[in-house]
């Protein structure tokens, strides 16, 4: 796996950054800048994290806004998935 997130990993808005048992925060800026989506929660946090789920979501939201992204509403997600 390449060390950087080159455009081949984020080629459409359907691309996303997520992980299981890892810290996805370093991936957020690259994902947002390339038009990708971000999924975050306890399953996307390092194993044994002391943060609560809401804290991971709040941190991700701040990172997304800092990268120039917006948080989708539930209605927007439903429409995208339909």
List, for residues 18-56, the tens digit of each pLDDT value: 666 778 888 888 888 888 888 887 777 788 888 888 998
CA distance 30 to 7: 9
Decide: helix, strand or coil at residue 70.
Answer: coil
CA distance 12 to 2: 19
Roughly what angle, to the nearest 10 degrees, separates helices 53-66 and 25-33?
A: 40
The alpha-helical segments, DSSP class H, found in 1-82 are 25-33, 53-66, 74-81
In a domain, 1, yes or no: no
In a domain, 45, yes or no: yes
Q: What's the domain range around 54?
A: 7-81
Neighbours of 28 (CB within 10 A): 22
Of 33 and 17, the one with more pLDDT: 33
In a domain, 63, yes or no: yes
The number of distinct structural domains making up the chain is 1
């Amino acid at each position: 796996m390449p060390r950087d997130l080159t455009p081949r990993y984020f080629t459409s808005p359907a691309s996303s950054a997520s992980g299981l048992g890892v810290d996805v925060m370093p991936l957020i800026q690259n994902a947002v800048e390339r038009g990708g989506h971000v999924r975050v929660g306890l399953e996307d946090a390092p194993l044994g994290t002391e943060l609560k789920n809401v804290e991971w979501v709040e941190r991700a939201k701040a990172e997304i806004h800092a990268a120039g992204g917006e948080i989708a509403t539930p209605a927007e997600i439903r429409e995208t998935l339909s």
